[in-house]
Amino acid sequence: MSHEEFVWYHVNKHAPLFRSLPEVKIYVRRYLQYHLPEEISKKTALSEYDGITEIWFDDLESVYKLFAADAYKRIILTDQEKFMDLCESVVEISK
């Protein structure tokens, strides 16, 4: 999948799917995506990733509840496998 195809899928397919989950509406306070334009990424080597997703929660318990939800595992993780290399993905939690 090209960088352009990844960005299109991430924005137009994955994000609406993620936002449609009832659990997301309960636990997520903000959902943001960042994509460095490919021409900048290639010239500067600023990032080895095609995109970054930032998800805001009120507390750590909400993080656990979302990621443990059956719908999240069944729908979102399955969708991520279509366009992401999950073994190379990084998850960071901060306060």
- Strand-pair partners of 55: 31
Instruction: Give tens-digit pLDDT for 35-81.
Output: 887 766 565 565 677 788 999 999 999 999 999 999 999 999 999 99
What CA–CA distances, in Å, run from 25 to 13, 39, 55, 94? 17, 35, 12, 21
pLDDT at 36: 80
Name the band, by pLDDT with cuts 50, 70 and 90, for residue 25. very high
Name the band, by pLDDT with cuts 50, 70 and 90, for residue 87. confident
Share of the chain above pLDDT 90, in %: 61
pTM score of the predicted model: 0.83
